A and B are shown apart, each in its own frame.
Chain A
Amino acid sequence: MHPPPTTFASAPIRWARVNLFATWSNAVLTLTGAALSLWIVAAILDWAVFSAVFTGADGSACKAEGTGACWPFIQAKMGLFMYGRYPDAERWRVDLTYVLALAALVPLMIPRVPGKLWLTIYLLLAFPLIAYVLLRGGLFGLVGVPTELWGGLLVTLVVACVGIAASFPLGILLALGRRSELPIIRYASIGFIEIVRGVPLITVLFMASVMLPLFLPGDITIDKLLRALVGVALFSAAYLAETIRGGLQSIPRGQYEAADALGLSYAQKMGFIILPQALKLTIPGIVNSFIALFKDTSLVLIIGLFDLLGIVQQSVQSDPKWFAHSTATTGYVFAGVVFWLFCFGMSRYSAFLERRLATDRR
């Protein structure tokens, strides 16, 4: 589609002429955009390097007007941001949990590696138990660490991972229920999905934190983190159900009919024929739900849990030693970068999967 070169201009100049200066209005746009980009780069460099404070034992060096980033703040609070108030001597347990998770997750994410079934079984059945024992402690000679001490990125990851793991089976059941031929099951599923999708996550969390204790018999008290997990899992299940329903709907009728013709029962039909195909189709959608869930975990700070954002917020607001405008900005930027790395990484992975799975379309 590019016009043939009329002069013997070199390749970069030709490229610039076609892509940046094709018309007058285009040239104006390019120059405006270039000015904007330069301004952004300069502002970031100035904030992060030239006006930044790199050393200091407390916030006094960061209090000056026009200070950029306050890096010693991040350095001093790094442990807090990552583990919360998890005891220093026990933090290796958190790290070990991460290693055990990554050991299975990384091979699972690389399409070439065999043994996916065993890895999945390990991740879904064995790992949660190991992780619970390691993190919570109180067994096998490990010191117990109550969940009130958990915080920072640890809580963010726990809420996100437990949320997705718990909502996954529930989401599949709800999606199947919504497509069931039995009216009561169908309407019960529709009712749950639409109600949960119709309200903000905050109200669901409020419900979990304020109303759940009321629903249970008086002598049972449940952990604050567990309450948030229940809310997040129920909320995420409704969204996941809709994603999976999309996959179920895209399986050709013939597949259902063929399964029926073979005389398979409902459970066999779904378990061996429909769900494997439908779930494969919805993997990108599931990853997208997971990204949304990962960002939404930050809302647990509203019901008083200290996830990554919650602990950053608490540190910048209520630590008099570090109280300064530049520390607040630095804290938020740090949390933003961590969240961004996770979400962007996952969205790239989802796009990669989408390309890989779209083999039938070309």
Chain B
Amino acid sequence: MQRDVSAKRSWLDPIYDPKIRGIVFQALLVIALGFLAYEIVTNTIANLKRQNIASGFDFLARTAGFEVSQSVIPYTSTDSYARAFAVGLTNTLLVAALGIAIATVVGFIVGLGRLSSNWLIAKLSLLYVEVVRNVPLLLQLFVWYIAVLRALPQPHDAKPIAGVFHLDTRGLHGPLPIFGHGWLIVLAAAVGVGLAVTYYRRAVQRQQLTGVRTPLLWPSLGLILGLPVVAFLLTGASLQFDHPVLGRYNFDGGLTLLPEFLALLAGLSFYTASFIAEIVRSGIEGVPRGQKEAADAIGLTRGQALRLVVIPQALRLIIPPLTNQYLNLTKNSALAVAIGYPDLVSVFAGTVLNQTGQAVEVVLITMAVYLAISLVTSILMNWFNARMAIVER
């Protein structure tokens, strides 16, 4: 039944050659994408010319001319658009960083609550998760901003909390601490963190060599918190508080957290926490039962079993989706535009876009910033995952 294959070659053969097909398909894709890009660019140039809109990035150096209600870095309306961009970016990073911290704490508490042997606590945690994660975040932001924070008393009627804080319709007012030598204290804290890391490494080394466990928690806490305190005392313990003073309409001075900021922070944190709770729960449930039983069998206490056996393995399951949630929170902070917190999207893709009309440049810069944050995080995550991965022997 042997047939001479070569004799059957025809001019049609190249069509069935996977290599040639691959090249043809890819060439078609390149042509299609190239055509799309060409159309987009020429149309955009023509449209911009027709509407008399400038292009290029020169506008960044021009004077912004608008005020921003809250900013981490110094800013006035005479600063440039580039400065306004920086204000938006730092505001986004600020709310994202605080949101991540709060969401993690709340998420872990609720997630552990879901696993509690206490029936009522487990059900309450379940209720929290199911209610919060099935309602759009934007709606929750409106609820915080309009239904909750607008219901607060006027500044004149606000009763002090803990003596010095006032929560009213204008936000949360509190004393602003002013340290005499602020940078020294920050430096001391950084040194403390560095020393604590070194100490931790030494302790791990020692345990691997000798089997002796060194106490970790208190010495590290002492280093991280103690050094700044020592630095503070050594530099003359100069600490003053700038207390807010009630003016005619509002509090002046001191530290004020605007209601927009509070609403965004609360909304983002509690929404993301409901997702983190589920990640924590499934992570801990994902640790095989045998691991816990083995820990019991070799005589570890319940705390030791959790700390040394369950949590390290659960973290391996928890951390990748947790990072995703951190990224989601950062991206979701763009919803600030809906309640008027001056984040990157609100300041840059909102006000600056409207003033300059340079939609292409502004939207591209905004997207590039979020993309950069995502890429940096995923690079860090891949590095971290590679380190945490189980080394099979």
Q: Which residues of A are at the interface with B, using a C-beta cutoff of 8 A?
A: 19-20, 22, 26, 29-30, 33-34, 36-37, 181-185, 188, 194-195, 197-203, 206-207, 210-211, 213-218, 291, 295-296, 298-299, 301-302, 309, 313, 316, 325, 328-329, 332, 335-336, 339-340, 343-344, 347
Contact A22 B371 (CB under 8 A): no
CB 8 Å contact bits of B31-60 with A (1 = contact, 0 = none): 001000001100110111010000000000
Asked, given contacts A19-B117, A202-B345, whether A188 binds B370 with beta carbons under 8 Å apart, the answer is: no
Cross-chain contact A33 with B124 (CB below 8 angstroms): yes
For residue B130, CB closer than 8 A to chain A, the reply is yes
B134 lies within 8 A of A217 (CB): no
Known: A37-B124, A211-B363, A336-B139. A199 touches B29 (CB 8 A): no
B143 and A336 contacting across the interface, CB-CB below 8 Å: yes
Report Cα–Cα, A197/B140, bound state, in Å.
23
Residues from chain A with Cβ under 8 Å of B337 in the complex: 202, 302
Candidates A30, A295, A328; contact of B121 at CB < 8 Å? A30
State whether A332 and B118 are in contact (beta carbons under 8 Å apart), knowing that A200-B332, A210-B359 are contacts in the complex: no
Are B338 and A182 touching (Cβ within 8 A)? no
- Minimum C-beta distance from B140 to chain A (A): 8
Q: Is B367 touching A33 in the complex (CB atoms < 8 A)?
A: no
**A343 contact set on B, CB distance < 8 A:** 134-135
Indicate if the CB atoms of A301 and B338 lie closer than 8 Å: yes
Which chain A positions have C-beta within 8 A of B131?
A: 340
B353 in the interface (beta carbon within 8 A): yes
Question: Is B139 a contact partner of A203 (Cβ separation < 8 A)?
Answer: no
B167 CB-CB contact with A under 8 Å: no
Closest A residue to B147 by CB, please name it. A329
Report if B30 contacts A (CB, 8 A). yes
Interface residues of B in 5-29 (CB under 8 A from A): 22, 25-26, 29
Q: Determine if A198 and B370 form an interchain contact, defined as CB atoms under 8 angstroms apart.
A: yes
Contact: B29 with A22, CB < 8 Å?
no
Find out whether the CB atom of A29 lies under 8 angstroms from the CB atom of B143: no
Determine if B80 is an interface residue (Cβ-Cβ < 8 Å): no
Are A214 and B43 within 8 A (Cβ)?
yes
Report the minimal beta-carbon distance from A81 to chain B, rounded to whole angstroms: 13
Q: Sort A-B residue pairs by CB-CB distance and give the 10 closest, nearest first.
A: A198-B374, A343-B134, A200-B334, A19-B119, A200-B331, A295-B136, A184-B26, A198-B371, A298-B136, A33-B120
Q: Is the CB of B371 within 8 A of A199?
A: yes
Interface string of B352-383 (1 = CB under 8 A from A): 01000001100100110011011100000000
Residues of B in contact (CB 8 Å), total 55
By a CB distance below 8 angstroms, the chain B residues around A328 are 146-147, 150
Q: CB distance B43 to A182 under 8 Å?
A: no
B315 proximal to A (CB < 8 A) = no
B44 touches A185 (CB 8 A): no
Interface of B is mostly: helix
A/B interface sample: 6 pairs, CB < 8 A: A29-B120, A30-B120, A203-B370, A301-B138, A309-B142, A328-B147
* Residue of A201, A299, A302, A332 touching B143 (CB-CB under 8 A): A332
In this complex, what residue of B is CB-closest to A347?
B134
Q: Which residue on chain A has the smallest CB distance to residue B130?
A: A344
Task: Tell me the complex Cα distance, A316–B137, Å.
Answer: 18
Q: A215–B29 contact, CB under 8 A? A: no
Please indicate the chain B residues that have their CB under 8 angstroms from the CB of A339 in the complex.
Answer: 134-136, 139
Complex: A325 Cα to B145 Cα, angstroms: 12
Complex contact B135–A22 (CB within 8 A): no
In the bound complex, CA of A181 to CA of B22 (Å)? 9
Question: Knowing A184-B29, A298-B139 touch, does A203 contact B360 (C-beta < 8 A)?
Answer: no
Q: Give the A-B pair count, Cβ closer than 8 A.
A: 157
Across-interface contacts of B147 in A (CB, < 8 A): 325, 328-329, 332
Q: Is B227 an interface residue (CB 8 A)?
A: no
Provide the bound-state CA to CA distance between A215 and B47, in Å.
8
Complexed CA–CA distance, A211 and B364 (Å): 10
**Is A199 a contact of B370 with CB atoms below 8 Å?**
yes
Q: A19-B119, A199-B374, A200-B370 are in contact. List 6 more A-B contacts (CB 8 A).
A: A33-B118, A188-B29, A198-B375, A201-B331, A329-B146, A339-B136
- Please state if A295 and B359 are interface contacts (CB–CB under 8 Å): no
B120 and A34: CB pair below 8 A?
yes
In the complex where A22-B117, A347-B134 touch, is A332 in contact with B370 (Cβ < 8 A)?
A: no
With A and B bound together, what is the CA distance between A203 and B343 in angstroms? 13
A37 and B139 contact, Cβ closer than 8 Å, known pairs A210-B363, A302-B338, A332-B146: no
Bound: A313/B124 CA distance, A: 30
CB distance from A8 to the nearest CB of B (A): 22
- Tell me whether B287 is interfacial, beta carbon within 8 Å: no
**Contact A29 to B349, CB < 8 A, known contacts A184-B30, A202-B335:** no
Tell me which of B26, B33, B134, B360 contacts A214 (CB under 8 A): B360
A185 touching B26, Cβ below 8 Å = yes
The answer to whether A296 and B121 touch across the interface, beta carbons within 8 angstroms, is: no
A343–chain B nearest beta-carbon distance, Å: 4
Q: Does B225 contact A (CB under 8 A)?
A: no
Q: Mark B136-178, 1 if CB is under 8 A from A, else 0.
A: 1111101100110011000000000000000000000000000
Q: List chain A residues, Cβ under 8 A from B33.
A: 188
Q: Is the CB of B50 within 8 A of A309?
A: no
Q: How far is the CA of A207 from the CA of B140 in the complex (A)?
A: 25
CA distance A250 to B337 in the complex (A): 40
Interfacial chain A residues near B136, Cβ < 8 Å: 295-296, 298, 309, 339
Q: How far is the CA of A213 from the CA of B139 in the complex (A)?
A: 29
Which residues of the other chain, A, contact B370 by a CB distance below 8 angstroms? 198-200, 203
- B44 to A20, Cβ gap below 8 A? no
B43 lies within 8 A of A216 (CB): yes
B120's partner among A20, A181, A291, A332 (CB-CB below 8 A) is A20
B363 CB contact (under 8 Å) in A26, A203, A296, A335: A203
Q: How far is the CA of A83 from the CA of B163 in the complex (A)?
A: 50
Q: Which residues of A contact B48 (CB under 8 A)?
A: 214
How far apart are the CA atoms of A197 and B331 in the complex, in Å? Answer: 10
Question: B19 → chain A, closest Cβ, in Å?
Answer: 10
Residues of B contacting A20 in the complex (Cβ-Cβ under 8 angstroms): 118-120
The minimal Cβ–Cβ distance linking A2 to chain B, given in whole angstroms, is 11
Closest beta carbon of chain B to A354's beta carbon, Å? 12
Give Cα distance in the complex from A79 to B353, angstroms: 36
For A218, the chain B residues whose CB sits under 8 A away are 43, 46-47, 50
Minimum CB–CB distance from B367 to chain A (whole Å) comes to 5
Contacts A210-B359, A214-B47, A299-B138; is A199 near B143 (CB within 8 Å)?
no
- Chain B residues with Cβ below 8 Å from A185 are 25-26, 29
Bound state CA distance, A216 and B42, in angstroms? 9
Instruction: Determine the distance from Cα of A329 to Cα of B363 in the docked complex, in whole angstroms.
Output: 34
Q: How far is the CB of A328 from chain B (nearest CB, A)?
A: 5
The answer to whether B40 and A215 touch across the interface, beta carbons within 8 angstroms, is yes
Q: What are the residues of chain B within 8 A of A206 when measuring CB–CB?
A: 345, 349, 353, 363, 366
